[in-house]
Amino acid sequence: MARITDVRARSIKPGDKPIADSSVPGLRLWPSKARGHEKSWGYGKWILRFQSPVTNTRRDMGLGTYPTTTIAMARDLGTAARRLIDKGLDPIIEREAELAAKVAAR
């Protein structure tokens, strides 16, 4: 497994297997289902697969679409989520709680 490069990410096509990035465990770039105009559809979506320490189930966390979410941004988001997992927290539950708090503050 190797780190994803921009050239490799831009070459992903519908039907391809997801591309794993070795810098963050579980981080993959999944190809988009249909190839449209890349500026509107993107090349794929970033998914972080992990075992939830709260529910003890496998979860997939969306981190955005490529190229809107760059490789560096996806790695940063994945690393932050892994830190939460290491603390015994589920990053999806934490993200939902943060969003609910913002909505309640309005």
Cβ neighbors of 70 (< 8 A, separation 6 or more) are none
Q: Which of 19, 25, 26, 15 is nearest to 4 (CA)?
A: 19
Q: What is the pLDDT of residues 3-58, one digit of tens each?
A: 899 999 999 988 899 999 999 999 999 998 876 555 555 689 999 999 999 999 99
pLDDT at 43: 85
pLDDT at 36: 57
Predicted model pTM: 0.88
Instruction: Provide the mean pLDDT of the chain.
Output: 91
Burial class (CB in 10 A: 0-12, 13-18, 19+), 46: buried
How many Å is the Cα radius of gyration of the chain? 15
> Coil, strand or helix: which one is 35?
coil
* Strand partners of residue 58: 51
